Structure 1
Amino acid sequence: MKPASLLAVLAFTLVPSLSAAAGCRGERIDQTAASCEPGMVWDSAKGTCVEKPTS
């Protein structure tokens, strides 16, 4: 196999792998899942469970 052909095959093999790996570095979305006790609700501003307001 000629060196140019070998380089072309190598490039076509590696490029999809490298582009897929680069896509994995994207921004992460921070999500919080919370299960509050009865009578409590999740306050996203505070990031904790707070007493459920009554009116």
Structure 2
Amino acid sequence: MKTTITTAVIALMLLPSMSMAQCSGMKEITASSCKEGMTWDQAKGECIPAPTT
């Protein structure tokens, strides 16, 4: 019983660090992350200066 509880506690302690390790290298850039005056170009997959009229 003591071993089971210890194993469960260790697993719960490691869970946040494991989830952070999976997401740390991934940063998705989308239209909502473009700065003011920029617009999302779907073909290029990046923010470009917004055309002025």
Q: TM-score, normalised by structure 1?
A: 0.44
* Greater share of residues in helix: 2
Q: TM-score, normalised by structure 2?
A: 0.45
Larger C-alpha radius of gyration, 1 or 2? 1
